[in-house]
Structure 1
Amino acid sequence: MPSSSHGSEIATIETLSCNAGWRNYHFLKITTTDGTVGWSEYDEDFGPRGMTEVIQRYAPMFIGGDVMNHEQVYTRVAATARPAPYGMTAEVFGALENAMLDAKARILGVPVYDLLGGKHRDSIQVYWSHCASWRISHPNHYGSKVSDLAGVTATGQEARDRGFTAVKTNMFQYGPNGPKSWGSGFGNPYEPGLNVDRTLIRDVVKHVDALRSGVGDDIEILIDLNFNARTEGYLRLIRALEEFDLLWVELDLYNPDALALIRQHATMPIASCETLFGVRQFLPYLTKQSIDVGIVDVVWNGVWQSMKIANTAEAFDVNVAPHNFYSHLATAMSAHFAAAVPNLRIMEHDVDRLTYDDDLFTGTPTVENGRMTVPSGPGWGIEPIEEEIRRRPPVLRTNYLGIEKYRCPPTVAATKRWIAMMRE
């Protein structure tokens, strides 16, 4: 890797992870030859497993690269993965890109948004993501357990009282034991046909109706249907939800033609694409007019590449929204992106947090009346506190929505032995 002579070359690359209750947080740290540190967050719990190992394999290719010339560093290494440019390799490159941006901004003494062309806004409208959802699925970690429709309504009332102007929830089925998350697209429950029946539709409608009762008529509601249906199932759900006049229906399909068909028949805006990488993967959804809002994951893509996606979306008169449900560091990263793009719709923000989330970082997001203040200061404006991260070692996830509370084995061989032992 070509290097410079002014101390901004990457000298070391490290990864750190910590227990985050029902998942883990993952961080990447680069240190330049002059001692500048750049941070990013990456995702291993909801993308393919093994990201940390792949980062370690690619790290030597980034060592010596000049963070002041981050686009060349990124492009040179990305060229080596041209036969398989998406998925885990793209996430690795995104994590390195984000850390390089942080380091470069710190060297220059400016916020990252200055590297992106400057900010269009000092504060960003945010929606309360997973509103009631986390309190149903993870009450042991977030408190305020929601066990019935009345609890959903109460959470909506809380969102209104706290000044939020928009909330997003998810799909739930209601049985004799209360609400349960519906995530068939992720094998929870396992229903490979991804069929949507009348009972589930009624439960989803009841859930949204209860939330509407809490937030009132003036607060926007969004719903995330994820990968949990096929084309006809999404259309049935959307028709059933028409009465709520939602800000958007969010759903995921790797078929831009099918999504375009859904959008043509929907009476509400369609948001999608949070799992896509780069302009090339977004382009078919834009050219086929499949989406009203393009959701961009800056943790996966890298903020510099995400700006390219946003600029392309603007040419098709499509606004973007960051996909953001990680830790405070990712929130800061997403906020810099949201401040810099002109075609912003709204930003995702998880309000329910772990009791120790604030202890992990040098700063926390500031939200008032449904708007987040754009972080100031060099780089992202906050950074992880390494001692606090290391105090909470990561644990091994064994399913999509829960964690077995055991410390992660350090090697693949140890992991296999650990799994065998747990199955005995």
Structure 2
Amino acid sequence: MWPKTSERSAFSGRSTATLRPSALALMGRWHLAEPVPIPGKHRHNRRKRAKGNAMTKGSKVKSVELLACDAGWRNYHFVKLTTDDGVVGWSEFDEGFGSPGIGAAIQRLSVRVVGQNVFQHERIYAELFAATRPAAGGVVAQALGAIENALLDAKAKHLGVPCYELLGGKIRDRIRVYWSHCATWRINHPSWYKPPIESLDGVKAIGREVREKKFTALKTNIFTYDNGRPTGWRPGFGAPFAPEINVERKVLRDLHMHLEAIRDGAGADVDILLDLNFNAKTEGYLKILRAIADLDIFWIEIDSFNPEALGFIRRQSPHPISSCETLLGLREFLPYFREQAMDVAIIDTPWNGVWQSMKIAAAAEHHEVNVAPHNFYGHLCSMMNAHFSAAVPNLRIMETDVDRLAWDHELFTHVPDIQDGHLIIPDRPGWGTEPNEEGLRAHPPKHGGGLLNYGRKVP
């Protein structure tokens, strides 16, 4: 039916009397396309919206608790956030990688979290950031990240969805992972990771084990050899104590030998990644890159506080460079992106918060850089990183530790499902696993641990 000439039109608010016949015909099609109202539909929508508002209004944070347990050479740390309707959100954080005091910061900040709407994690993060802006970064930033991750878990559980749905939905169902700290844990911590590696034969054997277990990539670290026995070389972390962090000929020679041995075991089809951490300065990193230029390396991982220095290194490297696992917040990443300092940006999602990490990944994509999560913690962190990896478009690969403590399976309700070198993304609500509080109590935390004990003889 044609509209009356007195009706107002969608065309610039003019009456139909001023429109040309062609416009009237188009408007006629417009009117014919209008949906027919369904009786009661709008009342139903109002009821749905009201119900949703009631749910979110009732989802207030009731308490924030901290738990910890023994994890061999360090402790695992967790945030338990409970809402007033009984939903529990979990996150894992770490004090062993140079960050003592995160738990104390979380406790202090939690007084501003209790009573807040668990659905409004961005608002809560912004409020906590404002309250800590003069001392932003460091331990404070990691505390904010731990709180954010617990809020995300609680929100997803309220909605009955996996956390990746909060991040835009999953792009992939399985994530390629690399076997991290390959040989490293069995050399540096033989009491907890078996079998211990005491020679190059052991290095070759674990390379072969990686291939036989169908992993497609591994990452190892720097080792020196004395009388054939390997020792971790970590002057950047005080073991040995050598603040000048010079890279001498023996280090170069032994590192090349170590990488050849692990390649011999792994075969030609397994990618090898090398993590140099903070164990050199610009001169030393360049010496290492020249010394191993003839080897097939997936990436060289370098930590540097100077984006210009890292960019200088990258422009002379025959291998791709990854970096940034110790950076906090997009502000710290941006100078590295602008400098084109790395090929892959490593993001620590437990430190930054998974929601904030998605923002960093988006900025990386803008600068044509792929990302990879930093993941050498407990199984809850692995699941948090898995959800990030499932949702982020510009993913390179995901880190995971395959060598685990003998009691690791007692500490979590679910462990990652890894098949043929890929982590299968779970569809359980939230992160898909939780700490098992009974298991945590069975393995109480030790005093100290982590990097603070590197280079010390601990009784």
Output the TM-score relative to the length of structure 2.
Answer: 0.86
Q: Indicate the residue corresponding to 1:343 in structure 2.
A: 394
Comparing 351-360 with 388-397, greater Cα deviation is found at 388-397
1:166 to 204, 214, 217: 217
Q: 2:200–2:228: 8 Å Cα contact kept in structure 1?
A: no
Distance 2:452 2:399 in 1: 20
Q: 1:22–1:401: 8 Å Cα contact kept in structure 2?
A: no
Q: Indicate the residue corresponding to 2:260 in structure 1.
A: 209
SS at match of 1:124: strand
Distance 1:291 1:401 in 2: 29
Kindly report which structure 2 residues correspond to 1:52-71, keeping only aligned pairs within 5 A, or say none. Answer: 52-71=103-122
Q: Indicate the residue corresponding to 1:15 in structure 2.
A: 66
Q: Indicate the residue corresponding to 2:57 in structure 1.
A: 6
Q: Classify 1:219/1:190 alpha carbon distance in 2 versus 1 (closer, same or farther; 3 Å).
A: same
Q: Classify 1:302/1:116 alpha carbon distance in 2 versus 1 (closer, same or farther; 3 Å).
A: same
1:154 to 202, 205, 225: 205
- Count of residues in Structure 1 that have an aligned counterpart in Structure 2: 405
Q: Indicate the residue corresponding to 1:254 in structure 2.
A: 305
Distance 2:77 2:138 in 1: 17
SS at match of 2:287: helix
Comparing 71-80 with 169-178, greater Cα deviation is found at 169-178
**How far is the alpha carbon of 1:6 from its aligned partner?**
2.8
Distance 2:451 2:104 in 1: 20
User: Where do 5+ consecutive residues of structure 2 fail to align?
Assistant: 1-53
Distance 1:385 1:193 in 2: 44
Identity %: 53
Distance 1:6 1:106 in 2: 15
Quick check: 1:381 aligned with 2:381? no
Q: 1:16–1:390: 8 Å Cα contact kept in structure 2?
A: no
Q: Indicate the residue corresponding to 1:82 in structure 2.
A: 133
Q: Indicate the residue corresponding to 1:143 in structure 2.
A: 194
Q: What does the per-residue CA deviation read over 1:249-291, in whole Å, with 9 as the maximum and x for residues that have no partner?
A: 0010000000000000001100000000111100000000000
Q: Indicate the residue corresponding to 1:51 in structure 2.
A: 102
2:446 to 395, 420, 423: 395
Distance 2:167 2:147 in 1: 17
Q: Indicate the residue corresponding to 2:410 in structure 1.
A: 359
Q: Indicate the residue corresponding to 2:85 in structure 1.
A: 34
Q: Classify 1:328/1:202 alpha carbon distance in 2 versus 1 (closer, same or farther; 3 Å).
A: same
Comparing 65-74 with 170-179, greater Cα deviation is found at 170-179
**How far is the alpha carbon of 1:182 from its aligned partner?**
0.7
Q: 1:23–1:402: 8 Å Cα contact kept in structure 2?
A: no
**How far is the alpha carbon of 1:240 from its aligned partner?**
1.0
Q: What does the per-residue CA deviation read over 1:28-51, in whole Å, with 9 as the maximum and x for residues that have no partner?
A: 000011111000000111132111
Distance 1:423 1:373 in 2: 39
Q: Classify 1:5/1:264 alpha carbon distance in 2 versus 1 (closer, same or farther; 3 Å).
A: closer
Q: 2:96–2:450: 8 Å Cα contact kept in structure 1?
A: no
Q: What does the per-residue CA deviation read over 1:9-64, in whole Å, with 9 as the maximum and x for residues that have no partner?
A: 11100000000111100000000111110000001111321111111111101111
**How far is the alpha carbon of 1:4 from its aligned partner?**
8.9
Comparing 49-58 with 252-261, greater Cα deviation is found at 49-58
1:292 to 324, 329, 343: 343
Distance 1:111 1:200 in 2: 46
**How far is the alpha carbon of 1:145 from its aligned partner?**
0.8
Q: What does the per-residue CA deviation read over 1:369-415, in whole Å, with 9 as the maximum and x for residues that have no partner?
A: 11110122100011111111122111123673859xxxxxxxxxxxx
2:145 to 94, 105, 110: 94
Q: Indicate the residue corresponding to 2:47 in structure 1.
A: none
Q: 1:188–1:400: 8 Å Cα contact kept in structure 2?
A: no
**How far is the alpha carbon of 1:66 from its aligned partner?**
1.0
The residue type paired with residue 331 of structure 2 is R
**How far is the alpha carbon of 1:5 from its aligned partner?**
6.7
Q: 1:120–1:340: 8 Å Cα contact kept in structure 2?
A: yes
The residue type paired with residue 201 of structure 1 is L
Q: 1:152–1:211: 8 Å Cα contact kept in structure 2?
A: yes
Quick check: 1:263 aligned with 2:314? yes
Q: Classify 1:40/1:423 alpha carbon distance in 2 versus 1 (closer, same or farther; 3 Å).
A: closer
Distance 1:64 1:208 in 2: 53
Distance 2:309 2:375 in 1: 25
Comparing 239-248 with 120-129, greater Cα deviation is found at 239-248
Q: Indicate the residue corresponding to 1:413 in structure 2.
A: none
Q: Indicate the residue corresponding to 2:243 in structure 1.
A: 192
RMSD of aligned alpha carbons = 1.8
User: Where do 5+ consecutive residues of structure 1 fail to align?
Assistant: 404-421
Q: What does the per-residue CA deviation read over 1:157-213, in whole Å, with 9 as the maximum and x for residues that have no partner?
A: 000000010000001111137111111001111011110000011011111110000
Quick check: 1:308 aligned with 2:337? no
Q: What does the per-residue CA deviation read over 1:280-338, in whole Å, with 9 as the maximum and x for residues that have no partner?
A: 10000000000000000001000000000000000011000000000000000000000
Distance 2:100 2:453 in 1: 15
SS at match of 1:243: coil
Comparing 44-53 with 205-214, greater Cα deviation is found at 44-53
Q: Which runs of 4+ in 1 moved over 3 A?
A: none
SS at match of 1:19: strand
Q: 2:411–2:435: 8 Å Cα contact kept in structure 1?
A: yes
Q: Indicate the residue corresponding to 1:329 in structure 2.
A: 380
Quick check: which has more Rg, 1 or 2? 2
Q: Classify 1:173/1:8 alpha carbon distance in 2 versus 1 (closer, same or farther; 3 Å).
A: same
Distance 1:277 1:400 in 2: 19
Distance 2:449 2:170 in 1: 41
Kindly report which structure 2 residues correspond to 1:223-234, keeping only aligned pairs within 5 A, or say none. Answer: 223-234=274-285
Q: 2:178–2:421: 8 Å Cα contact kept in structure 1?
A: yes
1:73 to 121, 124, 147: 124
